[in-house]
Amino acid sequence: MPIEISNPEAGKHKEFSLLAQTIVIGAIAGSSAGLIGAIVATIRGHPRKSIYVIGTSLNCFALGSGFYAIRELYSRKLFKFDAGQPQRGRDKIILTGAAAASTAAIWGAVIGGRRHAIPGFLVFGITGSAAQLVYNIIDSNKKNDTATDQVHMEQNSKGGIISQILTSQNNPIRLLTKEEYIQKLQEKQLVLDADIALVDEEIERLRQKLEKEKDHKESNNDR
């Protein structure tokens, strides 16, 4: 019968790490919102600037830390993801939408009562899912660009120093692509065909001249 050995220290470390990260995320959100709130209050000339800034900071601290904590709990408890484990794009959308909806519903119920819970749940759930979808698209495009650049770098490194010099944009001498090489050959063929046509015309002109001279001599001999 297998014996499972639990490690309570590891569990405590994970919980402490989650708590610390939650506080950091909340502090970043709160300080950013406080700075923006101070600017807005100054521009509008708010009569209670300090209270407005503090309220905005606390509100965003609660939303930021709550969203992060709920998302991590959903990720670890429901989806069984470990910290740092790669997640699929669909899972990220579900996690972010669920965390945003839950956070907005809880905070809306705390501030405005139960009648604010459902609208906050729907609006923030849809907004969070849409924002995560947009982020996934941007991140995917960035990864594709990075992979393409890496492939080009590997190809250049395989070609050696001469290949890197010839493919450099600052070098006046460079390697031609297949299409460019074919185009160069076609241009040279056109020039060669034009030269051959000129030579043929000159030969025809000389032939006609010789025939005229021959006819002229024969006519003189007949006389």
| pLDDT mean across residues, the chain | 79
Q: Calculate the dihedral angle through the C-alpha atoms of 86, 101, 106, 52, rounding to the nearest 10 degrees.
A: 100
Per-domain residue ranges of the chain:
19-84
**77 or 54: which leads in pLDDT:** 54
pLDDT > 50? residue 3: no
Region 159-169 average pLDDT: 56
Q: Where residue 134 falls among pLDDT bands split at 50, 70, 90?
A: very high
| pLDDT single digits (tens) 75-90 | 888 777 766 667 787 8
d(CA 25, CA 44): 28
Task: Give the N- to C-terminal CA distance of the chain in Å, as an integer.
Answer: 134
Q: pTM for the full model?
A: 0.52
Q: DSSP string of the chain? A: -------HHHHHHHHHHHHHHHHHHHHHHHHHHHHHHHHHHHHHT-TTHHHHHHHHHHHHHHHHHHHHHHHHHIIIIIS-PPTT----HHHHHHHHHHHHHHHHHHHHHHHH-GGGHHHHHHHHHHHHHHHHHHHHHHHHHHHHHHHHHHHHHHHHHHHHHHHHHHT-TT-SS-PPPHHHHHHHHHHHHHHHHHHHHHHHHHHHHHHHHHHHHHHHHHHHHH-
